[in-house]
């Protein structure tokens, strides 16, 4: 019961809209924070999967749109910074600090997208030689490992987001742009990733029951 009381304390601190109190609640209820993180990872992933099924356009274009937007923003900021530095003898002070955070967003949202495409260490050549039972066992293991990884990242990076908000960390070179506005993209990206994991898992289980092909060759940069 104590662990559920800790979850209640964390949720209460969240609704108080005070990052410092929320950080204290998490530190004082570490076990509860991990259990809550597991719940968020699971329910968040299932919710994302349901959203993707309800809105196919979002399922197909959300991650690519975020990645391309972040990439173009990075390119524009760097290009403008070079022009300002060498032609106008100066550049915006934030032009060297914001691009790394945009790259952070692009990278982790891209990780979610590549889980969809199964281009992360798929070992397709090895697995296609296995019988169907072995293939589905490997795919289920993939899902467990990805969800475990997402769980760890969501809990630990959320703590960093809360610490950045509690300490009012401002983006270097700016007056009022907060770091946590960018850092929060990491746990969100891994909730999206959890949704992709559940999508793949349910598709794999359906294919196994029907006797369809389980392992297909993944193509980096391709689509499904």
Does residue 15 sit within a domain?
no
**Domain range for residue 66?**
62-210
> pLDDT for 162-218, tens place per residue?
999 998 899 988 888 899 999 999 999 999 999 999 999 999 999 888 887 777 766
Total domains in the chain come to 1
In a domain, 52, yes or no: no
Query: DSSP per residue over the chain, as a string?
Result: -HHHHHHHHHHHHHHTT-HHHHHHHHHHTHHHHHHHHHHHHHHHHHHHHHHHHH-HHHHHHHHHHHHHHHHHHHHHHHHHHHHHHHHSS---GGGGTHHHHHHHHHHHHHHHHHHHHT-SS--HHHHTTS-HHHHHHHHHHHHHHHHHHHHHHHHHHHHHHHHHHHTTPBPTT-SS-BTHHHHTHHHHHHHHHHHHHHHHHHHHHHHHHHT--------TT---
- Asked if residue 16 is part of any domain, the answer here is no
User: pLDDT tens across 115-137, in order?
Assistant: 988 887 677 777 788 888 888 99
The answer to whether residue 31 sits within a structural domain is no
pTM, rounded to two decimals: 0.89
Residue-wise pLDDT tens digits, 66-76: 999 999 999 99
Mean pLDDT of the chain: 88
Is 224 inside any structural domain? no
Answer whether residue 87 is part of any domain: yes
Q: Within a domain: residue 69? A: yes
- Domain annotation covers residue 77: yes
In DSSP terms, which residues pair with 178 in a beta bridge?
170
pLDDT band at 221 (very low <50, low <70, confident <90, very high): low
């Amino acid at each position: 019961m104590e662990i559920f009381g800790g979850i209640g304390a964390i949720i209460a601190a969240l609704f108080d809209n005070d990052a410092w109190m929320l950080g204290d609640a998490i530190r004082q209820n570490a076990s509860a924070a991990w259990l809550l993180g597991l719940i968020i990872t699971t329910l968040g992933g299932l919710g994302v999967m349901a959203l993707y099924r309800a809105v196919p356009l979002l399922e197909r274009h959300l991650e690519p749109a975020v990645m391309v937007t972040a990439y173009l923003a990075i390119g524009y900021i760097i290009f403008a910074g070079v022009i300002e530095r060498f032609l106008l003898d100066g550049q915006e002070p934030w032009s060297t600090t914001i691009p790394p955070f945009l790259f952070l967003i692009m990278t982790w949202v891209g990780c979610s997208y590549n889980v969809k495409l199964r281009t992360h260490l798929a070992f397709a050549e090895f697995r296609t030689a296995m019988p169907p039972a072995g293939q589905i066992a490997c795919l289920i293991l993939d899902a467990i490992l990805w969800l475990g990884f997402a769980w760890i990242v969501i809990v630990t990076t959320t703590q960093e987001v809360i610490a950045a908000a509690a300490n009012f960390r401002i983006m270097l070179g700016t007056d009022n742009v907060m770091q946590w506005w960018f850092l929060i993209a990491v746990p969100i990206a891994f909730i999206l990733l959890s949704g992709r994991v559940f999508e793949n898992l349910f598709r794999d289980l359906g294919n196994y029951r029907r006797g369809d092909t389980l392992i297909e060759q993944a193509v980096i940069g391709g689509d499904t």
